[in-house]
Structures are given as C-alpha cells and as structure tokens.
Structure 1
Amino acid sequence: MKRLNTYKTFAMIGMLTCSISGCSKYLGLKPDNSFSVPGSLQDLQGLLDNSEVVMNFAATGLAEIASDSYYLNETSWTAMTDERDRFLYLWQPYSPIASQWTGPYQAILHANTVLKYLPSIKISPGEITVANSLRGAALFHRAYQLLHLLQVFSLPYDPAGSNDNLGVVLRKEPSLDEKISRSTVRQCYDFIIGDLKESVNLLPEKADIPTRPSKAAAYAALARAYLVMSAFENAGRYADSALMIQPDLIDYGTEINTASNVPFSKWNKEVIFDMAMNGGAPLAPARRRVNIAEYGNYEESDLRKKAFFSLNNQGEVLFKGNYNGLNSSQLFCGPTTAEMYLIRSETNIRKNRLSEAAKDINTLRAKRFASSDFSEVEFTEQKWAMDFIKKERRRELIFRGQRWPDVRRYILLGEQEETMTRIAGGKIYTMTAPDIVGYTYKLPDEVIDNGSLIQN
C-alpha cells in the first residue's frame, strides 16, 4: 500500500473532506473552491486510501440505531446531551445529526473525483490494470454508501410495487454546481446495481488490504443489494461468486480467545471488505446494552455467546464482538464470508433446495461450536428452515446494521409481524409492523436548509 505522504495528496484530501462549518453546497456542504487537481494514479489512489477518515468509516449507523438488538437504560438515555439522539432512539420524527448523511456523501465525493479525473491522466500500458482497479474501486465505494443510505432515508424496496417513492440523491459528479434532487427508490437500486456490476469487471479478485474494494467485495455487495430487493436467485448467485473467491471461516473454537475483551482482530480472514458505521451516541459502548432476548437466542454451547458478549457487575449484557477490533460505536458493517453463506442458504431455502441450504448452514455452524458440541442441522420442511435461517442471521450478524433491513423485508413479504419497543422517560414507545415498514429518518436539517431536497 502506498503511504499518503505527499503534500499534494494531503491537500486534496483536506479540501475534499467537508465539514458542516466549512461546506454547504455538496449536499448541505460548501467546500473551499480552491481545489488541487489530481495529476497521477497515485493521487487518485491516495483519495480512496483515506480509509480511517472518510472512505471506510463513513457508513451511516442509523439502521443499527433503529434496531431492537440493544437498549439504553434510563441513565444512559438521559445522559445523551443532544436531544436528536434521545428522540431518534425512540423512533421520533427528528432529523439526525448531519454526519449520518454528509459522511457517506464525503466518501461519494472522493469516488466521483476519481471517476472524473481518471480519464484525463496519461497512463502507460503497464498501468492499465491499476487504472481499471481505481475506476472499479470508485464505483464500488459510491454504490456501497448509497446502498446503506437507502436503508434508512427511504422506504424499503417492494418487490411487488412500483418503487417510485423518494430515494436518495444520486451524486454522479464532484462538481459543486451539479443540480441535485432525490431519485426514486427504483432508480437508486438500478444505479447501485449498475455501478457494482461494472466494478466486478475492473477489480482484482482480492485486494492487498480489506479497506480496498475487490471483485469478491463487489460480488458480496451485489448479494446484499439483491437480498434487500428480495431478488433471491440473484442474491444467492452473487453470494456464491464471492465465496468462490473467499470461502474462509474463523474457527471460534481454535482460532480466537472467546474470553478476551477483544476477541477479533482487524482484517480477520472472514472480512471481505472493511467498513465501519457511524454509531453515534446511542451505540457508544458505555451506553448500549444487548437486549436479553438477543442474548437468549444463542445456545449455551454456541461459542458466539462467549465471543460476542460479556456480563457487567449488574448482570447487563455487553457486546464485544466487533469485527474491526474496536471497542467503540464505529461498529463493523462490511460483508463477511459468514454472511455470504447465510445469503446463499436463504436463497436455497426460498427455492426449496433444502439439502443445499443445510450444507451451508452446517459449514458455518461447524466453526461456531466446539467439535464435541456440534451437531448438523437437517432441513426437511421449508417453513421451519426459513425460521431457522432468520434466527441464524440474527445470531451471526448482530450489530452489523442488517437487522433493520431484514425486518422490513420480512414484513413486506408478509412472512412475519414484528413489534419493537423502547422504554424511556417513564413511557413505552412501540413500533408495529406497519410503523416499521413506513418509518424513514428525516434528512438532516442542515441539508434541507441549504438545498432543494424534499424532506421525508
């Protein structure tokens, strides 16, 4: 990996990394118009390698904030100083902190800058592969951030509907003068799928480091996108493609210390692409507590119960299973090989290919139990298998930002009724199934005040 050690690269990053105080034109942001034009492939790579500031720590965490995997006790809830955090935890119609929107669009700005300036750079025959990889990486980053934004700022994709309701903004240029508006949900998914499919043909099978996109990562992102669209055959096909490149699983019985406060190392072998969400105040480790129902969803012999959780002196359940090795609200939300096994298994269940589905589940679970405690699961009835895979997704993907989109698609498919409950300020707040499907976050006030976007 080339280090970001040139003044020019740092200058470009500084100008592209927008802040609320200094930028208001790029979706509520207005950066300094004095822009250092990238002049080499190394410059462009530097923009995409700004991983710990912009590119790989930018995903919105609002899906996890909305989920029922955790709760805040009264002390933690009242201690949040920003009222937006307190009321968003209760699913109230408040605008979130601006960084939940602007952070992803900062990453998109970097990606669009690469896409704009790459064609103008003279490259030698020996640099064609690098140039192609840069274009593929920029397309991937743009699509990945848009996919996360759609899960919280738009209604869910309805496989039986027109999907002409408001989506998010499809920024295609780094220009500050680009006219912006919200595209429809269908247009957004078409755009995301298009970017990812093109990136597949440009990226290397595996990246040097997991913060850089790869062909496996693009396949995994396509699998996720098609899953939330309930396009299951495509979801399974792309999960299979990702697993053909990267099939490895961690053996929780022999390869990690489940008693450790940080059981998982950064960039472990299950990580297909490294991405962290902005969990904000509600998901700070000192505040969040795991719902006891989630904790009870694991068998005692399931090693995930020890690897993911610990108990404090009050008997409250704490989450420690962050796949990026951090004890913070920056929770890992990238795709993993385990997730791909789950997507492929769900596809096979829905297509009534039960023996194939069970094979994937057993491949995964064999690495989550000690060999003496593991017994294979048999799928003989489709509905039972479907119920099992839903629970297995909850067990494996807790605090990954997947619970909220999962619940919404299950409800839309008419498969289950869900009710979520919070308690704060002496009151009970409840979300019924229609509430969950119809709930979207408002766009941040800073974006609405400075632009021409329609509010949710």
Structure 2
Amino acid sequence: MLASCARYLDVKPDSSLAVPKTLKDLQAILDNETRRNTSYAYAGDVAADYYYLLEADFNRLNDAFDARNIYLWAPDASADRDWNNLYLNIFDVNVVLEEAGSAEAGNLTETDRKRIQGTAHFIRGWCFFQLAQLFAVPFDSGSADQSLGIPLRLSPNIEAPTTRSSLAETYQQIITDLSRAIDLLPTSSPVAVRPDKAAAHAALARVYLIMGDYQRSLDHANAALELEDGLMDFNDLDPLATKPIEVLNIEVLFHAQIPNGGGGFVTPRARVDSVLYASYHDADLRKQVYYRQNADGTYHFKGDYGTNPGIPFAGLATDELWLIKAECHARLSNADLAIESLNTLLVTRWEKSEFIPYQATDADEALQLIIAERNKELAFRAGIRWSDLRRLNKDPRFAKTLTRSMGSETYTLNPDDARYTFLIPANVVQQTGIEQNAR
C-alpha cells in the first residue's frame, strides 16, 4: 500500500511503534501532534479559488510539494505528499486498533482504553474522508457502487494486497469508523487536539453533507451542537490585532492544520480573491477580523483558527456546524429553520447595531444566502472549499468555472473536469497495479 514511500516498507516509521505493550504506549502514538494534528491534506486548498498568487510569489513555491502544478491545475499535478501523510496516519492508528484490545492497562483505565480506540477510529475515518476528497471522484449516490474509491487499509499489515474499494464502500467505511468513534469517545475532551463525541458528530455532519444525505447530516450537526454550540462574538475581538482569533477558541471541536502547501499561504503571498473580499458588507466584522490590507492595496488572510494564518486550520468548529444545519434545513425545504440557523451565526459576526436578520421567501432563496455565507465564513478553512466546489459543481445554480492567470497564460478548470480528482502516486500504481484516475 505504502509503496509510494519505499523506505517506509523497510523500517518502522517510528521507534515508538516497535513494541507498543501498554495503553500508555498507544496513547503516545495518538499524541504525536505532527502526524495527528498537522498533516492533513493541503492539495485541495492550494488548488482552491479563495486566493491568488502573483508571479514572483508563485515562483517561490516549494517544488517538493508540487505546489506550482497544483495551483495551476496541471493534469499531472502530484498530491503524493497528501497520500503519504494520510496513509502514514492510518498505519499508526491501525497499530493502535490492533493492539488496544489486549494492551496492558498500566496506570490507565478501561475508560481510557475506549477513548484510545475511539480516537483511532476517528482519525482513520477522517483520514479516509480526506483521501476521498482528493483521490476519488465526487460522491454520487447513483453511481457510487460503480465508481472507484480509495484503498481501505484496515490493518497495519503492510504486505496485505492493495485494491481500490468502490466509492460506496469507501464512504461506508468512513461512516463506520466515525460512528464507532461516537460510541467510544467521551462526551467532552479537556483539549481539542483530542477528539470527543461532538467532534465525531461534526465530522459525520460534513461527510453526509458531501454525500447529499441532508437529513443525516442535519441529525449529526444537531447532535454535535447539543454537546458544544459556542460561538465567538466578533464584537469582542480586536480587529486590528495581527491574529484576532485565539487558537483552541470556544468554537474549535477538533484542532488540525495542514502543512504549508509549499509556502503559498504564507502571508501576504496568498492574496484574497477580490470578488470574495468585496462580498463582505462593511458592517460585517469578518472583513476586518479575517483580512488585512497589503502595501499594494490587496488583502491577506489573518483570521485563522490555528496557530499561524500561513498554515490553514483544517479542523472542525461550531461555525461550520451552524452553516451545515442551515443548509440542510434549506435542502429539506425548511426555509424558516434554515434562516434561523444562519442568523444564529451571523449575529455574532456583524456589528450589533447594524445587523438586520436575514429573511428568505422560500427554501431556494435561503439556500442561495447560505451558500454565499459558507464562502465568506469558511474561506481559508482547509479541507472545505475544494470539497464544496466538487459537490456544488453538480448543481447548475452553483457550478463555477475557475480561472487563473500566470505570466501571459490563462488556466481554466471547468466544473466537470477530471482534474478535480488528483492522480494516485505513479509508483503506487506501478507497484500495486491499482487503476489510475482518469485524465
């Protein structure tokens, strides 16, 4: 499976994995922050449309990330690092799941054993989901049984044959892992670098939204919000601060970040899309909290929920859940409930004296408002925009043709383009014989 990194087949990736005998050993594997919290998929965000690069900044991108090709949607763009990082993560948690049932408790408890197993299921399901957003075609319930998904590694045996599951099987495994996580995880976690039930419900809310199963997505969004529904009031933030939003703030359910994507998100390189910036009302505090003006009059993003605006937050947060809840209500023809959920979020984002609650005459109008607010609220939120483009491109109301200019060339990505699915690493295909994605 991990033939994409040959040396990985020759030695264990970390000495701590050699002889895990106790629950404490397994917890140490899960607490490897580099693997568990800062190695999520970056390619979709490098390719997303909420920012652009000037030619000088484009030329500074790190070749090791293949960021230039990804940024320009090159047919042979390589997201190999995302593949490797995510499957290494999956290998780690498969070790944990294999050993957790028999590991010595030591100074931990059976409750800790359940939490460790739940965390491993959460991480595996979340990594499978991230992989599916890059290396499998967008989900379509009508063709999911016939479409290719990703390899589902469910044990740490690196010699097991590698095959691609169907897209339906891929999403079913994601759902199975995250559902198991809900059963095993505690109701709350002392720190959001470890998931809890609310985080697992939030993850499933996003998964079901991508699948177009709006009732189940709504159910899990509600379940998460029943546990943790806090929202920051942007009226209480300092919009002039270099970083107005704290790490691990009350909205964060699970903290995660991506690698820097080759340096493209380093401020002020990533210039905010001008149409996106212009979409914020002057009384919308996100316009000041999220963005700062550059010397040339353009803007860069500073409103990240993570540690550094140049390394986008890739976790789960309650603001996304309120938007999921709103969208699901609109999709289910509940316009009033959709707008009510949207306003619950927006009243915390606008100047209090200026906010006039949104209204909609029907569910379609509500949906249009909600999708527009998703773009504004979740800009520079890693792992979301690329998935949104893929799913919304199937709806003529929201399909979008992307264009970028570099030098004298203009590059285009059409809504139905095969490049919305990245190529599987070539050496994985060569060594395993699995089918490559179409071009």
Match of 1:272 in 2: 253
Q: How much does 1:39 deviate? A: 1.1
Q: How much does 1:273 deviate? A: 0.5
- Please state whether the residue corresponding to 2:404 is helix, strand or coil: strand
* 2:303 alignment partner, one of 321, 337, 360: 321
* Residue 7 of structure 2 corresponds to residue 23 of structure 1: yes
2:401–2:415 contact (8 Å) kept in structure 1? yes
* 1:370 alignment partner, one of 351, 355, 359: 351
Match of 1:211 in 2: 193
CA distance in 1, matches of 2:129, 2:205: 12
Aligned-pair Cα RMSD in Å: 2.2
Could you tell which deviates more after superposition, 125-134 or 65-74? 125-134
- Please state whether the residue corresponding to 1:277 is helix, strand or coil: coil
Spell out, residue by residue over 1:191-233, the C-alpha distance to the aligned partner (whole angstroms, 9 max, x if none).
0001111110110111121010100000000000000001001
2:69–2:77 contact (8 Å) kept in structure 1? no
The aligned amino acid for 2:337 is E
* Residue 127 of structure 2 corresponds to residue 145 of structure 1: yes
The aligned amino acid for 2:276 is E
* 1:259 alignment partner, one of 224, 237, 240: 240
CA distance in 1, matches of 2:108, 2:270: 50
State the TM-score, normalized to the length of structure 2.
Answer: 0.93
Could you tell which deviates more after superposition, 235-244 or 437-446? 437-446
Give the direction of change, closer, same or farther, for the CA distance of 1:59–1:205 in structure 2 (3 Å limit): same
Give the direction of change, closer, same or farther, for the CA distance of 1:97–1:351 in structure 2 (3 Å limit): closer
Could you tell which deviates more after superposition, 82-91 or 106-115? 82-91
* Residue 328 of structure 2 corresponds to residue 347 of structure 1: yes
- Please state whether the residue corresponding to 1:346 is helix, strand or coil: helix
CA distance in 2, matches of 1:30, 1:124: 28
* Residue 303 of structure 2 corresponds to residue 288 of structure 1: no
Q: How much does 1:452 deviate? A: 3.6
Identity of aligned residues (%): 32
Q: How much does 1:42 deviate? A: 0.8
Give the direction of change, closer, same or farther, for the CA distance of 1:293–1:355 in structure 2 (3 Å limit): same
Give the direction of change, closer, same or farther, for the CA distance of 1:312–1:32 in structure 2 (3 Å limit): closer
The aligned amino acid for 1:389 is I
CA distance in 2, matches of 1:44, 1:62: 30
1:149–1:168 contact (8 Å) kept in structure 2? yes
Spell out, residue by residue over 1:64-121, the C-alpha distance to the aligned partner (whole angstroms, 9 max, x if none).
1121101111111223352832222111122425321111112111111110011122
Gaps of 5+ in 2: none
CA distance in 1, matches of 2:402, 2:249: 33
The aligned amino acid for 1:385 is A
CA distance in 2, matches of 1:113, 1:124: 18
The aligned amino acid for 1:442 is L
Q: How much does 1:151 deviate? A: 0.8
Give the length in aligned residue pairs.
Answer: 432
* 2:293 alignment partner, one of 304, 311, 321: 311
2:5–2:84 contact (8 Å) kept in structure 1? no
The aligned amino acid for 2:280 is Y
1:216–1:241 contact (8 Å) kept in structure 2? yes
* Residue 88 of structure 2 corresponds to residue 112 of structure 1: no
Match of 1:8 in 2: none
Could you tell which deviates more after superposition, 215-224 or 415-424? 415-424
Q: How much does 1:159 deviate? A: 2.8
2:23–2:106 contact (8 Å) kept in structure 1? no
- Please state whether the residue corresponding to 1:54 is helix, strand or coil: helix
* Residue 182 of structure 2 corresponds to residue 193 of structure 1: no
* Residue 173 of structure 2 corresponds to residue 202 of structure 1: no
Gaps of 5+ in 1: 1-17
Give the direction of change, closer, same or farther, for the CA distance of 1:439–1:417 in structure 2 (3 Å limit): same
* 1:424 alignment partner, one of 406, 411, 423: 406
Match of 1:5 in 2: none
- Please state whether the residue corresponding to 1:430 is helix, strand or coil: strand
* Residue 48 of structure 2 corresponds to residue 67 of structure 1: yes
Match of 2:154 in 1: 172
* 1:133 alignment partner, one of 111, 115, 120: 115
* 1:335 alignment partner, one of 316, 327, 332: 316
- Please state whether the residue corresponding to 1:220 is helix, strand or coil: helix
1:24–1:450 contact (8 Å) kept in structure 2? no
State the TM-score, normalized to the length of structure 1.
Answer: 0.90
Give the direction of change, closer, same or farther, for the CA distance of 1:114–1:32 in structure 2 (3 Å limit): closer
The aligned amino acid for 1:47 is I
Match of 2:222 in 1: 240
Give the direction of change, closer, same or farther, for the CA distance of 1:143–1:376 in structure 2 (3 Å limit): same
Could you tell which deviates more after superposition, 84-93 or 161-170? 161-170
Match of 1:12 in 2: none
Q: How much does 1:379 deviate? A: 2.1
- Please state whether the residue corresponding to 2:192 is helix, strand or coil: coil
* Residue 9 of structure 2 corresponds to residue 43 of structure 1: no
CA distance in 1, matches of 2:303, 2:432: 39
* 1:383 alignment partner, one of 364, 374, 384: 364
* Residue 106 of structure 2 corresponds to residue 121 of structure 1: no
2:69–2:78 contact (8 Å) kept in structure 1? no
Give the direction of change, closer, same or farther, for the CA distance of 1:190–1:20 in structure 2 (3 Å limit): closer
CA distance in 1, matches of 2:208, 2:101: 31
- Please state whether the residue corresponding to 1:156 is helix, strand or coil: coil
Give the direction of change, closer, same or farther, for the CA distance of 1:57–1:33 in structure 2 (3 Å limit): closer
Q: How much does 1:30 deviate? A: 5.4
Spell out, residue by residue over 1:13-37, the C-alpha distance to the aligned partner (whole angstroms, 9 max, x if none).
xxxxx99877343xxx854698522
2:3–2:428 contact (8 Å) kept in structure 1? no
The aligned amino acid for 2:51 is Y
Give the direction of change, closer, same or farther, for the CA distance of 1:314–1:109 in structure 2 (3 Å limit): same
Q: How much does 1:439 deviate? A: 2.5
* Residue 293 of structure 2 corresponds to residue 299 of structure 1: no
